[in-house]
Amino acid sequence: MKTKTFFCLLTLVLLVLSCSTSDKHQSGKPYDILDKEVYNKIQQKYQLINDFQEGTSVVLDSCYGLIDVQGDEILPCIYDTILELTNEYRIICKNSKYGFVDINGKICIECNYEDFKLSRNNYLPFKRNNKWGFLDKNGDVKIQFKYENINLLNDSVFMGMIGNKWGVLKYNETPIFEIKYDAIIYKLSQNETAPSFLYLNDKLAIANSKNQIVTDFIFNGSTIQNIRYFEFPQLGKYLKLAKAGKKYGLINYETGETIIPFKYDRLGKISENILCAKLDDKYGYIDLSNQIVIPFKFEEAENFSEGLARVGIHKGYFNSMFGRLPYNLYGFIDKTGKFVIEPKFPDPMLNSLYESEKDEFHEGLAVMGKRVGNNMLAKKFGYIDKVGNWIIPPIYDGAGGFIHNRAIVMENEKYGCINNKGEVIIDIEYDDYQGRRQNDSIIIFKKNDAYSGGYPFSISGDIRSVPS
């Protein structure tokens, strides 16, 4: 009987302690967490009371401090800045020096450091005497203050600079790439199966997903700004690059093997297992074994999409303010090179939308244009189907491809959105927009120098339901 009574008491104590701990670390609105009288009282004291995070709230009374769920000030209002809780700590700033407090508001690192970077692991980067190093949550030095700069890559590795050279290291400072490169792009998009790019002396080499350097420093692209000389991997292992003279080819980035020789003036992405290419001022299509699929006979050509590709053929010349220029007409071919949509559409170069895939078929529709007046180029844009019929008339100054049954259009230098019936579903009244990738469900519009966006689209703070 005594044993049973003891276990009942123990269970009750543990339950009380659990509830107490839970109450201590509540998150939410201050008026939901604080006692009503306490909340009314501290409202008179502070200019600002932020939401609680794990039991503490940042308050402002000329300077910043912290209160707990009882409304008691556990960190005095003497700080220039107190950031949101991250990985169970808050960065604090006093007199332009940084430190941090733990989840309970206890000072673990005094404000003695010149700068900081937020970290999701237990290595906390701070700057002292113009050098970067890492501390633990007790303020002890984990990695010496010796780096001129650092970039946090993930929980396992970071990028460090010494002597104006970069390397990639584990947090025990074991190097993945030695500190000797002018620049490094490590694991594109933080994808562990992606390659890395190493820059040295104005040239570029490739490291595979296992961090093995598989090429010499032979490619164009000595700085991050020259990343335009290559594209992201296609189909998981191919990478388009350029060598001297900006001749393009394709490599297998796991082995470094050349798949497509570096002889093309332009090389498109791998789409439906073939690539658009330019050679000797003509466009054609090749496959991954560098065999010609469609002869090099077009003036312009784009990637295949939904079985069709837009191409241009030469139809003569016209005179403009820039002199005598070639005049091309555009249509769509299939994978045999046969025209499915005859080349009868004018050059769409005036299409003001800057989406990279606007010249392809998406969801059964493609952007095409019509001439206006004596202009030899297309000036108004709409959408055709796969036999060349207008589905949405060419009334816009710019038009992008369809994604998720939405397309961005431009009219009178304003942007909006239509569906595949041509119905305006986001008013054409926005000053700008941010581009989207093929799988994006979000479009961000700009109005009055402020961006907003969402899916359903969030316009100027109002959530608007979009018809499907």
Listed in sequence order, the residues at least 6 apart from 174 whose beta carbon sits closer than 8 Å to its beta carbon are: none
By DSSP bridging, strand 274-279 and strand 266-267 are antiparallel
* CA dihedral sign, ordered 78, 80, 85, 86: negative
The two tokens of residue 106 are 């206890």
Average pLDDT for the chain: 85
Which span out of 169-183, 218-232, 425-439 was modeled with the highest average pLDDT? Answer: 169-183
Question: How far is residue 312's CA from residue 345's CA, in Å, rounded to a whole number?
Answer: 9
What's the pLDDT at 275? 92
Q: Does the pLDDT value for residue 423 go beyond 50? A: yes
Concatenated DSSP letters for 156-223? SEEEEEETTEEEEEETT--EEEEEEESEEE-SGGG-TTS-EEEEETTEEEEE-TTS-B-S-S-BS--S
What's the pLDDT at 4? 54
What's the pLDDT at 448? 77
By DSSP bridging, strand 124-128 and strand 131-135 are antiparallel
Percentage of the chain lying above the pLDDT 90 cut:
61
List pLDDT tens digits, range 442-466: 777 888 766 555 433 333 323 233 3
Listed in sequence order, the residues at least 6 apart from 274 whose beta carbon sits closer than 8 Å to its beta carbon are: 285, 286, 287, 288, 293, 304, 335
pLDDT band at 319 (very low <50, low <70, confident <90, very high): confident
pTM: 0.74
What's the pLDDT at 242? 85
Q: Does the pLDDT value for residue 91 go beyond 90? A: yes
What's the pLDDT at 61? 94
pLDDT band at 229 (very low <50, low <70, confident <90, very high): very low
Mean pLDDT of 336-348: 94
Mean pLDDT of 88-112: 95
Q: Does the pLDDT value for residue 9 go beyond 80? A: no
Position with higher pLDDT, 224 vs 192 = 192
What's the pLDDT at 462? 30
What's the pLDDT at 439? 61
Amino acid at site 62:
S
The two tokens of residue 238 are 């191919």
pLDDT band at 3 (very low <50, low <70, confident <90, very high): low
pLDDT band at 30 (very low <50, low <70, confident <90, very high): very high
What's the pLDDT at 457? 37
Measure Cα distances from 129 to 132, 151, 242 in Å: 8, 18, 41
Q: Does the pLDDT value for residue 181 go beyond 80? A: yes
Q: Does the pLDDT value for residue 365 go beyond 80? A: yes
Question: How far is residue 454's CA from residue 445's CA, in Å, rounded to a whole number?
Answer: 9
* Least confident stretch, 10-14, 345-349, 353-357, 432-436: 10-14
Question: How far is residue 367's CA from residue 447's CA, in Å, rounded to a whole number?
Answer: 25
Q: Does the pLDDT value for residue 17 go beyond 90? A: no
Position with higher pLDDT, 64 vs 3 = 64
